[in-house]
Every structure is written in structure tokens, then in C-alpha cells.
Amino acid sequence: MAMNRIQFQPGLSIPAFQQQFGSEDQCQTALEQTRWQQGLRCLHCQYPACYRIQGRTNALFECRACRKQTSLTAGTLFEKSSLPLRLWFLALYLIGEAKTGLSALALKCQLGVNYRTAWLVQHKIMQAMLERDARYQLDGVVQVDDAYLGGERSGGKAGRGPENKIPCMAAMALHVWRHPWYLKLSPVVGFTQQAIRVWAECCLQPGAYVISDGLSCFGVVIRAVATHEAHVAGGKNPKDLPLFRWISTLLGNVKASLSWIYHAFAFGKYAGHYLAAIAYRFNRVLRKIPFPKIIFY
């Protein structure tokens, strides 16, 4: 079997993670070094010298100039959380490493917390992933496709728009060598011209070169933002064309992942979170961004 260099890239093993981030002190040091690589500047007056107040469980720093205090977790997703940082790091590790996703129930067991805490931690992390990737717009050659995504539920209808499935747009920017480079998975209110226009303005850089299978609502609207090329293969499913290889493979994997991992939840309500987590992981694996830098990139 040919070796896939992405699949076989070295990750962080569980023993190595525990060795590096197994204690509260280790996690606080890692967070401090990752947040303030040049040293902490006071968040209030920008003075470049702060000292750590001793004897505090949660790291607290005081400015030598204005005497105002700054918490290590202020302005991060850990702010005001009573959960130890080592459990937050473990959650980030587990969610970041789980190639096919991780349910709140599985996270509850792994962290040893109650379900509500696990659910809140999972959704806070997924919200951070969503906000981080929302800063990017896709540029260059971009494959787009539409799909109804969500968990299977017994009794649901087949085809477009079955119960517990919602309309989503998948877009993959390709590298100059035509390999996958950046992914966006976004729920949309429907495959209408207005919905696709909102999506295109949010996700595509002006001038991007978009390739689609020619769904009627794509053309006019995407052309308002980017150059659009529609491919409709007579008698053949456009998704089988080599041109759509990456996006079709990816959507197949996403559907399988959602069916197996998250089959019991109300997907429609939190689709943005779950899809953002899948895209975030995909984008960082491609770039080989190691833990814990993955939190901030």
C-alpha cells in the first residue's frame, strides 16, 4: 500500500502528551510561553515588565508600572473557567487528534467530568475553532459542492432535505500543485441565490476561481464575487469527475464521520460548530501544526 505522507506524519502520542502537559504547572508554562513569546506586556498600559504573584493557583501577573493585574487565562477560551488547565489541554488534545471527531459523551469519559461540563468544553473549543477559521477567505482555485449533512435518524426521508440534515456548502482551495490546501464547511439556510451570495461574500476572496458541478443557484451569484466555472457532465455524475476528486472524497468522509460519531444529536442546531471542528482539524493536519500551537493558529 502506498504511504500517505499526511496520514503517516508523526503526531503527539498519549504518553508524550502526558509527559509534556500532565500537570497544571506544565500547562500554565506552555500557555504563558505560547501566548507571550516576547514576554508579557501589560494589557492596560503596554509596559513590558510584569511579575507573577506567588501563591496563586491560577497564574496572575502584576504590572510594575500601573500595578494592574492580568490573569494568564484572560482573553482566552479558558477565562473564568473552574476546570483545571490540564483538563482543558487534554480536551484540546483529544478533540484536535480525533480524526473522525469526538462526541461529548466520549469526552466526558476521557476527562472524568459530568456530561454537561464535557458538552460545554467541547462547544467552547468548537466555537474557538469556528472563529479562528472565519478570519480566512478562500483564494485561488476553489472546488465547491453542496450537500445535505447531518446524523441519520430512523424514519427520516431519503434524498435531499431528510430529517435532521441541513444544507451545507463545502469549499476546498487547492494548492498551486492542485493538492487540498484550505477547507471551509458552512451550513447555509438553503440552496437559494440569496443564501449562496451571503456564503460567497463571506468565504471567497474577490477574484477566486471557483469550480462547481453547476447547481443552478451557484452560477450567477458566485460570479458576482469570483470567477466561476461550471462542469456538468452529460449522463455522468459530475462528482465522479477527477476535477472534483478532493471535495467528493472529503464530503464522503464528513458524512461517514457525522453518521458514526454524532448520530444521536440535533445536528441542525449546532451544525456550524461540528463542521468548523472538522475543517479546523483538516486544515491544521495539512499544515503539520503541532500541539499546543494548534490552539492559536
Q: Which residues bind to Zn ion, rule: CB under 5 A?
A: 42, 44-45, 47, 63, 65-66
Residue closer to Zn ion by CB (options 45, 256) is: 45
The least CB distance from residue 50 to Zn ion, in Å, is: 7
Decide: 170 and 196 in contact? Cβ < 8 Å: no
The least CB distance from residue 44 to Zn ion, in Å, is: 5
The least CB distance from residue 35 to Zn ion, in Å, is: 17
Number of residues in the chain: 297
Q: Over 199-252, what HEC string results? A: HHHHHECCCCEEEECCCHHHHHHHHCCCEEEECCCCCCCHHHCHHHHHHHHHHH
Alpha-helical segments (H) within 41-142: 85-97, 104-111, 115-133
Handedness of CA 54, 59, 64, 66 (dihedral sign): negative
Residue closer to Zn ion by CB (options 66, 220) is: 66
The least CB distance from residue 61 to Zn ion, in Å, is: 10
Residue closer to Zn ion by CB (options 61, 191) is: 61
Residue closer to Zn ion by CB (options 63, 85) is: 63
The least CB distance from residue 252 to Zn ion, in Å, is: 53
Angle 267-134-29 from CA coordinates, rounded to 5°? 100
**In sequence order, what are the beta bridge partners of 175?**
none
